[in-house]
Structure 1
């Protein structure tokens, strides 16, 4: 597998960056997913995974390895991912606010979202945009997941966090926020982890 250079330009010398470089992952963010997966058992061999905001590609690298060739991983992002993947992993350029699943896609087992807004420097604006991305990830999860499926979505914690968590808890049998140890100590990011999509939360595809 050919993997792309690391994308974390501002943190080229931290330990996670150096580890990712040595292990041929596209970004240090892979260790957040690894941590969440080990804690909540999100991914398994043979699973079908949708990765929203997949650029630069470390999450689809990890997911592809975990589900093996018996599974399937589809990544979506506004930017093309410059990586080579095995046949069971693919990525498409798409805007998640415009994308809807076509009839060619059977239900997924897992939806992942490490999406983050282009930061403006205004914390309130960045938080609101992040919450909008997490809400969209949940909306897509309810469209594409089979009942019992799982969702992990990143969000910058702010004023709308409580309502977003409430929506996750209404949609999944188990839902909780998780602050990854591999997140930087100054970061306000949380991961909302939903396990076991309720049948009542599934949305009929358009």
Structure 2
């Protein structure tokens, strides 16, 4: 009963404040706690539909924003949207053409779940790994990465992969996550990057 009330309460709040989904409050919570996004950051949002994280990002940065999703995203001012699968080379090239310099990558994407726990967890981990690999292509040195995941089989292995590429990695549960859910967020700061990639070296 409590979890249902939490769901309804946050949903009503999102409608009242004009957000496209309740997930908006997850990004607000994460940024308040970890200061992931700064005022001039260029940000790519993977799995962005319906666009609630893009709505929040517009209030956090004056930099360029791009959202990509399999489903079309209702346009919003000063936001580039791409419809397609971000795991494919064609869509990745299109994103990189629009966003040659990226400070932050966020990913709230999750596959449609079948209800078969082992199968679903494997698909979640595969999507997480795809998001991580693409983030590595996009981010400049010192950049930040936030990704939704679910704790379960192979989660620790995924976490180790992230730790190999970022100096600071935390796993957190958002205050807006439904009770009883295994959903969590990997918050990775300060991308190690490639010392030979002059284009993506930090200017700080």
**Residue 164 (structure 1) aligns with:** 158
Instruction: Note the 1:131-142 alignment, pairs <5 A.
Output: 131-142=125-136
Q: Which has the higher helix share?
A: 2
Aligned length: 192
CA deviation digits over 1:106-134, x for unaligned, max 9?
12000000001111011111111111111
Structure 1 stretch displaced more, 195-204 or 93-102: 195-204
52, 57, 61: which is aligned to 2:46?
52
Does structure 1 residue 93 correspond to structure 2 residue 78?
Answer: no
1: CA distance, partners of 2:196 / 2:82: 24
After superposition, the Cα gap between the structure-2 partners of 1:59 and 1:159, relative to the gap in structure 1 and judged at 3 Å, is same
Provide the alpha-carbon RMSD of the alignment: 2.2
1:32-76 CA-to-partner distances (Å, cap 9, x unmatched) read 1100011110111111000000011100110112113xx111000
Alignment of 1:1-206 (within 5 A): 14-68=8-62, 71-82=63-74, 84-87=75-78, 89-98=79-88, 99-101=91-93, 102-200=96-194
Corresponding residue number in structure 2 for 1:5 = none
Distance in 1 (alpha carbons) for counterparts of 2:19 and 2:58: 12
Which ranges in structure 2 are unaligned for 5 or more consecutive residues?
A: 200-204
Q: Does the 8 Å CA contact 2:47/2:70 hold for their aligned counterparts?
A: yes
Structure 1: which 5+ residue stretches go unaligned? 1-9
For 1:202 and 1:95, how far apart are their aligned partners in 2? 29
